[in-house]
Structure 1
Amino acid sequence: MKETFYERIGEAVCRERLTNGLEVCVVPKPGYAKKYAFFSTRYGGMDTRFCLDGQWLNTPAGIAHYLEHKMFDTREGNALQELAKNGAEPNAFTSNAMTAYYFDSTEHFEENLRILLSFVSIPYFTDESVAKEQGIIGQEIRMIEDNPDWQIYTRMLRAMYHRHAARTSIAGTVESIAEITADTLYDCHKAFYTPANMILTVVGDVDPVHVIDLANRVLPKLSGPIIERDYGTEPETVAEKETVLEMEVSAPQFLAGFKCAPATEGDDYMRAAILGDMASDILMGESSALYQRLYEQGLINPSFGGAFEMMPGVAYLYAGGDSKDANAVTDAILREAARIAAEGVDEDYFRRIRKASFGANLRGLNSFENIAVTLTEGYFHGYDPLRFPEVFESITPEDVAAFLKTNVTAERMVLSRIVPKQ
């Protein structure tokens, strides 16, 4: 077992790679009553096309999310109920590139961990249960599709990307999930729910040796295949400049998206994520000159916000909210980005934003869940996220100006709008 102590942030992490390929991370928190376990696989909504046993499979959109729902079924009953009876609070989620199962508890932790590792690694599906779930998830999808925030975001991604799997809705569609069978679910579990494609992260007052021993006893001895995935080739250009949808909304809404150059895996991935976040805040965060001007002009309200997102093979910056004139807002964003690129970032403002962003990362270490998710994402993308202090120090005002000059341009922009139904 390798133990690393991060002196600048006061955290220690014990890591061990099991013989079956599973990465185990334990973050000791002596004296805390709560214990948190996070068991995840690098498999999400984007992973619909992959090669298994020498054959390329095209699986229905939404299958990773569907599989997450069905994994709680066991031959003995339902793992959620079993964990809850043991005093645990379990849950799960599926993102574009990850599916995770987790719980926190103050007692019976090792028994709850055994249950978690068992039901995630041993699938149990029947044609009857799969068919029943189609109705439940189909209803969820219809509710999501009635949500303007979901529509404006997913339509932005479809406008931005020609072929990349980032265009695929994590939940899928009513039509796509109707194609899912028990056999398809077993194929996806065989491909991605293998120890070498997964990581177990535990945070709390636990003995790392006991955690590793339990994982060794419960999980499969073999690592499983290394799966080749196909996300689709993607040009630098956007697929379409603008998309408009009429919905039952009281005010027009918009999202402006900027298609950024994707980062490579490893340390560059973490640096790109931090740089993108800082550039977003400097350009249009609540303390920016642009935000204040747009607010005073009545072009935006407190609903306005922006962010920078990354997934395998894609990266994009976006911002939006309610506005009576989305074009005026996007023109202002482009002009401000061009001004900063030409004149540079004010040094004092840069230091304030960097300090605030660094502080947010530091405060995140107070959350057991945030620690687990951060370590998991770092492992899946090949970097150590707890070395973020060094990355912050490496970023300069010139880096931010160069990012905005390259990425926040009219050529890279798409506009997604929702307007009141006439």
Structure 2
Amino acid sequence: MEKKVYEQLNETLYKEVLPNGLRVFVLPKKDFHKTYGLFSTNYGSIDNEFGYGNELTRVPDGIAHFLEHKMFEKEDGDVFQLFGKQGASANAFTSFTKTSYLFSATDNIKENLQTLIDFVQDPYFTEETVEKEKGIIGQEIQMYDDDPNWRQFFGILKNMYPKHPLHIDIAGTIESIAEITAENLYHCYHTFYHPSNMTLFVVGNVEPEDLIEFVSQNQAQKEFAEIQTIHRHFPEESIEDIVPFSRMEMPVNRTKVVLGIKGAQDNLPTDAYELLRFRTALNLLFQLLLGNTSENYLRLYNEGVIDDTFGFEFSLDRSFHFADFSGDSQTPDVFAKAIEEILLDFAQDPEVKEENLTLLKKKMLGKYFQSLNSLEFIANQFTQDLFGELTLFDVPEIIQSIEIQDVLQAGERFIQQEAFSRFYLEPLKEK
């Protein structure tokens, strides 16, 4: 068992890789009553074409999310009820690249942990239950289709990634989920839910050695297939494939604008440490340029170009990275042009200076340390933020290491004029 002490954080992380490949992490927090357990597989909505070697299978869009739903239903009842009887609450979520199952409880930790592991490692699907689920998930898809913010987000993704499955709703479409069969689900399950593709993370008032031994014994009693390397296939895309502009109409009061920048994958650092520094440097650059304390933000706000709906985000995950800047506006062209000009001129912007960076780093570190008071944040963020051997707890060192030249280099690497795209979600026109 590995033990890593993060002295600055006063945290100790325990790690064990079991013979079946499962990575187990335990973070003891003696002063907390609640414990979170999170069991994740490195499998999300974009993984729709995969296989071993050269034999690839294409599955219907939305199947990872569909599979997450179906995992809770067993032949002898619903897993949620079992967690409830044991005093725990349970949940699950699917992202573009991960599927996670979790519980939180104040007692019966081992019982709940065993329930979590056992139900995720014991799939049960029938054609009848699959058909029943299609109606439930179909309603969920329609609900998201009526959400302007959701449509805005996937609108810009479709512009930036017209071929890559990233632009497809995580839940799929009504048409794609209609094609899902129990056989499809078992095939995806046996490919991606192998322990070697999974991570178990437990945080709370627990004894690490005892807990890891408990998990080890649980896994030793089960049989798994041989570990194989999963090959994922994604369509090749170039900068020329980006759609510079598109629009659609919905019943909204004002136009919802989003400006996107698509990152080139071959421009990314290959080293995990440098990758995390790149992500942090870009987040700091965007805060310097357009954070709510920047001169640019205050000027645009006072001019009425942006308002409280303005926000931005940088996303970096396997096979994609992009930034999006969005808000509601009566003058969408003015909004998009103003943001684009600030971003393209980042190297000459007076906001991008060491003095401002020092203040922002302190602010970012303060927010980070505050977030560590939430076990839910730690549990949900930990498996999302695994960069090789680096974890969520390496973030402070990364933040402190960033200097102004790192911020400028990250901007040069990422911000390219031909990588910009705009999407407008406009009010319905009167007929």
TM-score of the aligned structures, taking structure 2 as reference length: 0.94
Residue 229 of structure 1: aligned partner: 232
- For each residue in 1:295-315, what CA deviation from the matched residue of structure 2 results, as whole angstroms up to 9, or x when unmatched? 111111101011111121211
1:231 and 1:211 map into 2 onto residues whose CA distance is 38
1:351 shift after superposition: 1.2
2:80 is equivalent to residue 77 of structure 1: no
Stretch of structure 1 that moved more, 335-344 or 204-213: 335-344
1:116 matched residue in structure 2? 116
What letter is aligned with 2:408? A
Q: Distance in 2 between matches of 1:334 and 1:31?
A: 47
User: Residue in 2 aligned with 1:372?
Assistant: 379
Letter in 2 for 1:351: T
Name the structure 1 match of 2:281.
275
1:145 aligns to what? 145
Q: 1:249 aligns with which of 237, 252, 259?
A: 252
What's the counterpart of residue 383 of structure 1? Answer: 390
Partner of 2:318: 312
CA distance in 2, matches of 1:404, 1:218: 48
What's 1:415 paired with?
Answer: 422
Alignment-derived partner of residue 307 in structure 2? 301
User: What's 2:329 paired with?
Assistant: 323
* Partner Cα distance (2:162, 2:388) in 1: 24
1:359 alignment counterpart = 366
Aligned twin of 1:348: 355
Q: Deviations over 1:15-55 (max 9, x none)?
A: 11111110000000113211110000000011101014863
Cross-structure match for 1:285: 291
Are the equivalent residues in 2 in contact too, given 1:275–1:395 (CA < 8 A)?
yes
Instruction: List per-residue Cα deviations over 1:198-230 (Å, max 9, x = no partner).
Output: 010000111222322232233344464321111
Identical pairs, percent: 36
Moved more, 337-346 or 103-112: 337-346
How much has 1:406 moved relative to structure 2?
Answer: 4.2
CA distance 1:70–1:18, change in 2 (3 Å): same
CA apart distance, 1:246: 0.6
- Following TM superposition, by how much is the alpha carbon of 1:375 offset from its aligned partner in structure 2, in angstroms? 2.7
RMSD over aligned Cα, in angstroms? 1.7
Deviation track 1:161-185 (CA, whole Å, cap 9, x = no partner) reads 2422222221100000000000000
Q: Tell me: CA distance 1:98–1:317, structure 2 relative to 1, closer, same or farther (3 Å).
A: same
CA contact 1:45–1:64 (8 Å) conserved in 2? yes
Indicate if the aligned counterparts of 1:38 and 1:200 stay in contact, CA closer than 8 A: yes
CA contact (8 A) 1:34 1:104 kept: yes
- How far 1:86 moved relative to its partner? 1.0
Q: Please, which moves more after superposition, 334-343 or 84-93? A: 334-343
Q: Which runs of 5+ in 2 are unaligned?
A: none
1:322 partner letter: D
Pair 1:26-2:26 in alignment:
yes
Matched to 2:238, the amino acid is: P
TM-score normalised by structure 1 residue count = 0.95
1:214-225 to 2 correspondences below 5 Å: 214-219=214-219, 220-222=222-224, 224-225=227-228
Contact 1:267 1:384 (C-alpha < 8 Å) held by counterparts:
no
Kindly provide the CA deviation profile for residues 337-378 of structure 1, in whole angstroms up to 9, marking residues without a partner as x: 344313561222111111111222222211212222333134
Structure 1 residues 271-315: Cα deviation after superposition (integer angstroms, max 9, x where no partner): 222122112211211111111111111111101011111121211
Residue aligned with 1:366, SS: coil
Displacement of 1:381 in angstroms is 4.8
Q: Is the 8 A contact 1:19 1:221 kept in 2?
A: no
Could you tell me which of 404, 411, 418 is aligned with 1:397? Answer: 404
**Cα pair distance change 1:317/1:46, threshold 3 Å:** same
Matched, 1:35 2:35: yes
Per the alignment, do residues 146 and 265 of structure 1 end up closer, same or farther by CA in structure 2, a change over 3 Å counting?
farther
279-288 or 111-120, which deviates more: 279-288
The yes-or-no answer on 1:64 pairing with 2:64 is: yes
CA contact (8 A) 1:338 1:404 kept: no
User: Is this contact kept in 2: 1:280–1:317, CA < 8 A?
Assistant: no
Greater CA drift, 50-59 or 288-297: 50-59
**Residue of structure 2 in register with 1:104 after alignment:** 104
Is the Cα–Cα contact under 8 Å of residues 41 and 99 in structure 1 kept in the other structure?
A: yes
CA distance in structure 2 between the aligned counterparts of 1:308 and 1:343, rounded to whole angstroms: 20
1:213 aligns with 2:213: yes
Which range is displaced more, 72-81 or 213-222? 213-222
Instruction: Tell me if structure 2 keeps the 8 A contact 1:309–1:316.
Output: yes
| Kept after mapping to 1: 8 A contact 2:278/2:410 | no
Report the equivalent of 1:8: 8
Distance 2:420 2:63 in 1: 30
Residue 93 of structure 2: aligned partner = 93
The 3 A distance-change label for structure 1 pair 70 and 265 is farther
